[in-house]
Structures are given as C-alpha cells and as structure tokens.
Chains A and B, each alone.
Chain A
Amino acid sequence: MTKSSEIRIPANEITVAKRTDASVAVVGNPNSGKSTLFNRLTGLKQRIGNYPGVTVEKHVGYLKTDDATTELVDLPGTHSLSAHSLEEHISVDVIFGRIEGTKSPDGILAVLDATNLYQGLFLVQQLVDLELPMIVALTMTDAAEKSGIQVDTAALSALLGVPVYPVIATTGTGLEMLRRAISGIKDVEPPRRIRVWPELTAAAAELAEDAHERLRFAELERLLIDGPTASNQAIVAKLSDTSKARIEEIRTALFGSEPPIARDAHVRYAWVREVLDKVQKAAPVYVSWRTRVTDFLNRPFPGTIGLFLVMAIVFQAVFAWATPIMDAIDASSSSLSASVFTALGDNAFSSLIADGVIAGVGSVVIFLPQIIILFLFIILLEDSGYLARAAYLMDRAMRSVGLSGQSIIPMISSFACAVPGIMATRVIPSRRDRIATIMAAPFMTCSARLPVYALLIAAFVPATNVGFLNLQGLVLFGLYLFGIVMGILTALLMRKTALRGPKPPFALMLPEFRRPNLQTVAIQLLGRAKVFLKRAGTVIFAVAVIVWALAYFPRSNDIDPGLDANTAAALQMEQSWLGRAGKAIEPVFEPLGWDWRVSSAVIAGFPAREVVIAVLGTVYAVGDEADEGTLSGRLKAATRPDGSKVFTLPMVIGLLIFYACCLQCAATLAIIRRETNTWRWPLFAWGYMTVIGYLGALVAFQLGSA
C-alpha cells in the first residue's frame, strides 16, 4: 500500500480516458436497503453480468466524481462471511478476491440498516476484521427514528474504527458526503481488527507463522471456523505441511464438541449486544401505521384472509384496468393493417407488413398493459416486505407438497410470466427444492396464456350468470386453479421421485412493512417492460414473420383465378408450408378433435404460445368463415369439409387444457437451461408438459364426444 506516497494529479491535467481508480465491494444484509443505495449512487451507469459458471447476477456500477471513477460491485446480501447459500458464497469469494475476472476489492462499503443494527453489526464486525479500507453507510435512519431508535453515529464510528455516514437513500440526504468518501476510499486508513475472539486470532497467527506467503488473518479465521471446505482449499494450499496437518487439532482445541458456527455466532453476537447498549438509544415507541398493519396481519386468520384478498385484488386489477388499453391497442393495430393494404395494394409485401409484422407484433404488445399492472403489484408487494410474509403464511401449505414457503414468491411471479418467476427461485437455498419449484412454475397461468383463454372463453362459454358470478369468469378462474393444481402435483411428484431428499430448510427474515420507494419501483418496472418488449421485438417478431412466410409460400399457380378471393386464399393457405405441416401432423391431433388449421396454429405456437392467436387470425381470415367480423365469430363458424363444427365444446375444453399444460415458450426453456445449468431439465419439462397437455386434451375430447 503506497497511498500516502501517491501523487494526486488534478483531473484537468489528465487527457487520456481514465480507468477506474478503485473497486469497492458493496456488502450488507439482505433487505438492508443495499440495492436502493447502489442505484442511488450509480444511477444508470450500471452493468449486469454473470459470475463465471454460476447463475448469480453480477451488478457493477460506476460512481464518478470530479477526480475519480470508482467501480462499485453490488454483492448479494449476506448475513455472515460463513457462506450458506450460493449467493452468499459469491459475496464471500468476491470479498476475498477468489473469483476469476473480478478484481480483489480495494475497499468495502458496508451497508448497515439502522432499523436492524443487531444483524447488521454481526456482519460489519467481520468486515472490519478484513483490514481493508472501509466505509459504513447507515441507511434507513428516518425509519429508525420513526420507530423510536436513535443511533449515536459518532460512538458507533469510534467503536468500529471506521467512518460512518448516515444516509436516507429515498430522499438523497447524506448521499453527496458518502459519494465523496467512496471516491476517496483508497485514502481511508484500514481499520484495526476488533478483538472479539482473541483465542481464534491466536490460533490463526499460529497457522500464519510458517505459511508460504502472507495470509490474511480473516481468511485463516474463516478456515478454522468453516473447516477445510472446497472454497477454502486455496488458503490451505498456502500453508506449510506441518500447519496443514494441525488444522483439525487446532479446531478441536478451540471448539471442543461445540459446532464452530454456533460458537462463532455466540461470541460475535455477545459483542454486538455490548455495542448496541452503547450506540443505540431506544426512545418511547409510538404506534405507527406499520405496527398496526403488522399486528393485524400477525393474527393467523386475518393474515391468511388478507393474503387471499390481496391476490384477488391484484388479479381483478389486472383484468379490469388493462381492458380499455388493450382494446385501444387492438383497434389501432387493425386500422394500421387496413391502411397498409389501402396504401400498398394487395401484394406479398403489403401482406408481410400487415398480416405478418403488424398483426404478429400487435398481438403481443397487447399484453403489455397486463404485464405492467401485474409487475407493478408484484414489485410493490416485494418492496413493501409483504411477499416475505406471504411465504411465511403459506409455508405450512407448501410444506405439505414438499416445498417451502419460499417457493410461493416464484410461483406468484409466474402468474405474470414464468421467466421472472424462475429467476426468482434463486432465493431458495436447497437445490432440490429449487428445481421442483422451477418445474412447477411454468404451470402457473402466465399472461401469454391469457389471450388464448380469453378468446376461447369469449367465443364458446355463454356469458350467463351462476348465482352472482359470471360463468366466463368462473371458467377463467377454474383454469387458473387447474394450473395451480397441476403445478403442485408436479412439485409433489418431483419431490417423491427424482428430487427425493430431506425437507427443505426454512428460516425467513420478516421485514417490517415499509413504503416502497417509487423511484426504485419505476426502475424495476421499466426494466421488466423493456425485457418483455425486447422479446416481442425480436423472438416474437421473427416468429411472426416466419409463420407468415410459411403460410404465404409457396404460391400456387393452379388455383382457378375465377374463384372468389376468399376461397382462393383458403386454397392457398391449405397448400402453403404451414398448411402442409398442419395436415401432416393432423393424424396426431385428430384424436383431440383438431383439424389441420388448429394443428397448424398449435405448431406455430411452440416457440411462443401467444403467437397462436395471430396464426388462428391468419388461417381463419380466409375461406367461408371470413365473412364473420371477429376472430371469435370466425372460430364459431369454422367447419370441417363434411360440414360439422370444428370448435365443439369438448374440443374447446381440450384445447384449453392443452394450453394450460403445454410448455410453448422458448424463453422459458432458455431460462430453465440457464438456471439449472443443464439441458436435462428444460428438455424434461418440455416433454413432460407436452405429454400431459396432449393426454388432458385427449381425455376431455373423447369423454365429451362419447
């Protein structure tokens, strides 16, 4: 370290593009406000990547001041440097500089939640012992004061030997000071170790004495506590042979028969309680709205009823609020298509633009309102701390199917889209539990299934009332329920067979309710909308064009030009590639009551299930049925060559079951591959769900038609 002798060059004298001056690891407990602070510090100057070989996201941001650019690495939340989950392993490995392609940090920014100093200081103490330049950001001081906690920042700073900066990330108070401190982190004197456990330090010193190279005490102490695990092998290799042989002996002398982690927790938390006595003054607590809400929801029955109420409101909002916007999108895309034909005439190019591009992409963009509303609720629930409570309330129920309450968050998210839902399984520490949840998630009714349901229900289920409930709504609810039941049965099946194993662990932090920060909510919501539109703009656009081409080519010269336009178009469709594929596969789907046109649409929907609407729109836009104005009218009028109706009630029910089960989504397959790190699970999920969907449709049609 040569920081004292470093010559500072004024920024205006540097002409070449600057590299980052320092790399700072942002470390804190889960829910400590770490990500909010990180977003506030770096703004949009962020990169999201992956750590090599694992699925943990790497968030890197840059903090620019006049004379320095500092790289901030936002590490996954952790409670201790004794790693437990995959994400905690990553945090610890980054801190110790053990990850390829990630610089060993020059300093630590510890995020300490003022409302939860107890768990926060447990981690901060371990960070101080790293002997790296360090700064503490004390977050949520406003919330702490409201609940009657006052923190003596000066005393805390003196006890830790580290500068402490109180900040309120939501309002920006204190951020400027913190920014300046971070950019000058190399000038911060590394703190002295806090001697909470002298025996451990002495044992580490013994090992360090004859090591091949200089080792950090913190690493050696971890080695003694956690034992020579895989991630500690790098340190073990640096020890002398005599030391290596003595590791277990030293550990036995230190811990006796007590589990080292337990002893570690005892010693450090005893220190934390002492510090709390000195720095935290609890003023008289007044009852806030948070406490009232929490107290009410803490009663088992109101809590559970509240959960169902919240979910009911969310789904109601998704349907009720989105409809007018969706109608507007639908109308404008139809009129746009019509004006294309008016402007360009009826030819291959105008057909590509109107029937392929506009109709295809329009049929996808139409979900955007629903997706945004659903994500808005999920983000609000997550940021307010309610999703953790939902996991807690549902744990018992989830346990009965071999999962834990933590699976409820991915499951609920999957109602919007299985892709973010599967990504949300990262919070589940047990791999078996996680994969079982991933297998169940695609059964949840995602927003892409919704238009298929909506179309078929509107066309074939009478809008009569059952009691005070609408039959169409009831059928839709039934389909949601069906998805849930199928998902649960799948999880149960997996946990009893391929993923048999011990009960998943469960220890969940239940944060107090807090008002979500609107800026953070907006950033997340925009991110989700962007991901969806990007998908619509690329995959689904490509699929729409390919499907259009398959339906448009090859052109036939044999069609009698004397025929009327619709019949000619119907014949053209029948002998197109898509028509031929539909006919070729028709025998497979015949037992389900599908004709070649439905079969064609289903084939086209395999990469992205929402495409099926667009294809049905194309295949039924021609022929006798074209006289009907709406797509649902055309489907109702559709007949086979012998004059019988294609869309009978048993066939429609079968089709709905098929859509409820089948995994027609390339994006979901890709995300399962990414999250499980093997092709085995996505292929299995695809095969399993397709077979279930087929059999379900078969049973429904055969029983219904018998």
Chain B
Amino acid sequence: MAINGSTLATLKRGQKGVIRAINAADPQVQRLMVLGLVEGTEVEHASSAIGGDPMEFRLFGCGISLRQEHARHFKVAPVAAGD
C-alpha cells in the first residue's frame, strides 16, 4: 500500500498502521524507538488528549503516549479497517 504521506500523527482514532520509515535524527525519536516504535511494527491510534495532543498508541498490548511533533517522524502504511 502506498504511504501517501501518512504518519502516526495522521492516523484516525481506532485506525491501525504499520510503521514503514522513521526520521531518527532527533534523540527523542530514538528514545521512542527503544520503546518499540520501529519499522515493521503495527500500531493503533488508541486515543488523544483534548486538542489531539498528545496521542496514545497501542502496540502489542502496551500503550505509549507521544506528542504530535514526534509522531510526525514516523511514516506509516495505514491498515484497512476491519482487518
């Protein structure tokens, strides 16, 4: 599936995506990778706080919250709903 500029930040609530590319220059992004946000991992946008920031993502049963400014560094391929 085409990436079409989708990032973690553009996933809708309840939508899933597989991480395809990461701009890892920012040490804070690297930190998120240590927490498991790496290429090939499927994540779900579980929730967001008021104003849409920060956002909560679920991967393999664990929840990680991150800010939009960091979520933008993760390019994803959205997974079709009902999968």
Contacts and interface: CB of A to CB of B under 8 A. Distances in A.
Q: Do A and B bind each other?
A: yes
Interface of A: 79-80, 82, 84, 115-119, 122, 147, 149, 258-259, 261-262, 264-266, 269-270, 273, 276, 297-301, 303-304, 392-396, 405, 505-512
A509 B38 CA distance: 16
A269 B63 contact: no
Do most interface residues of chain B lie in helix, strand or loop, or is the interface mixed?
Answer: mixed
Contact of B33 (A262, A273, A299, A506): A262
Interface string B40-58: 1100001111111110100
A477 to B, nearest CB: 23
B67 interface: yes
A508 B60 contact: no
A304 B49 contact: yes
A111 to B, nearest CB: 15
Interface of B: 13, 22, 24-25, 27-36, 38-41, 46-54, 56, 59-67, 70
Contacts of B63: 509-512
A119 B35 contact: yes
A510 B50 contact: no
Given A300-B48, A303-B47, A116 B61 contact: yes
B36 A269 contact: yes
Nearest to A301: B50
Contacts of B30: 259, 261-262, 265
A298 B54 CA distance: 12
A392 B31 CA distance: 17
Instruction: Determine which residue in A276, A301, A405 has the highest number of CB atoms from chain B within 10 A of its CB, and name it.
Output: A405
8 contacts: A259-B24, A261-B34, A265-B36, A394-B49, A506-B65, A506-B70, A507-B32, A510-B62
Question: B29, B40, B47, B56 — which one has the most chain A CB atoms within 10 A of its CB?
Answer: B47
B56 A269 contact: no
A79 B24 CA distance: 18
Nearest to B59: A118
B64 A510 contact: yes
A82 B65 contact: no
A286 to B, nearest CB: 15
Contacts of A269: 36, 38, 40-41
A299 to B, nearest CB: 7
Contacts of B25: 259
Given A262-B29, A269-B38, A511-B63, 20 more contacts: A82-B34, A118-B36, A119-B35, A119-B36, A259-B30, A261-B24, A262-B24, A266-B33, A270-B40, A300-B52, A303-B49, A392-B49, A392-B65, A395-B67, A396-B49, A396-B50, A507-B28, A509-B62, A509-B64, A512-B61
Closest 10 CB pairs of A and B: A298-B47, A510-B63, A118-B60, A262-B24, A265-B33, A261-B30, A300-B50, A392-B65, A269-B38, A116-B62
Contacts of A393: 49-50
B54 A149 contact: no
A222 B60 CA distance: 26
Contacts of A149: 61
A405 B66 CA distance: 11
B49 A395 contact: yes
Contacts of A118: 36, 59-62
Contacts of B61: 115-116, 118, 147, 149, 512
B18 to A, nearest CB: 11
A262 B22 contact: yes
Contact of A507 (B13, B41, B64): B64
A351 B51 CA distance: 62
Contacts of A509: 35, 62-64
A506 B66 contact: yes
Nearest to A509: B64
B6 to A, nearest CB: 20
Contacts of B36: 118-119, 122, 265, 269
A119 B62 contact: yes
B60 A117 contact: yes
A636 to B, nearest CB: 46
A34 to B, nearest CB: 15
A79 B35 contact: yes
A49 B62 CA distance: 32
Contact of B65 (A266, A273, A507): A507
Contacts of B70: 506-507
B31 to A, nearest CB: 6
Name which of B32, B33, B46 has the most chain A CB atoms within 10 A of its CB: B33
A260 to B, nearest CB: 9
A506 B64 CA distance: 10
A269 B30 CA distance: 13
A505 B66 CA distance: 9
Contacts of A116: 60-62
Nearest to B22: A262
Contact of B66 (A80, A119, A297, A507): A507
A511 B67 CA distance: 17
A298 B63 CA distance: 11
Nearest to B41: A269
Given A147-B61, A395-B65, A506-B66, A273 B32 contact: no
A122 to B, nearest CB: 7
A299 B52 CA distance: 10
A43 B49 CA distance: 40
Nearest to B60: A118
B82 to A, nearest CB: 16
A265 B59 CA distance: 15
Contacts of A265: 30, 33-34, 36, 38
B41 A395 contact: no
Residue in B32, B34, B53, B70 with the greatest tally of chain A CB atoms within 10 Å: B34
A298 B33 contact: no
Given A299-B47, A392-B65, A506-B54, A266 B60 contact: no
A509 B64 CA distance: 5
A299 B46 CA distance: 9
Nearest to A300: B50
Nearest to B53: A396
A176 B77 CA distance: 47
A691 to B, nearest CB: 36
Given A118-B60, A149-B61, A261-B30, A392 B54 contact: yes
Contacts of B13: 298
B11 to A, nearest CB: 14
Contact of A396 (B22, B29, B38, B54): B54
A285 to B, nearest CB: 10
A304 B49 CA distance: 8
A396 B13 CA distance: 18
Contacts of B56: 298, 392, 510
A162 to B, nearest CB: 21
A118 B34 CA distance: 11
Contacts of A273: 40-41
Contacts of B22: 262
B76 to A, nearest CB: 16
Contacts of A270: 38, 40
B19 to A, nearest CB: 10
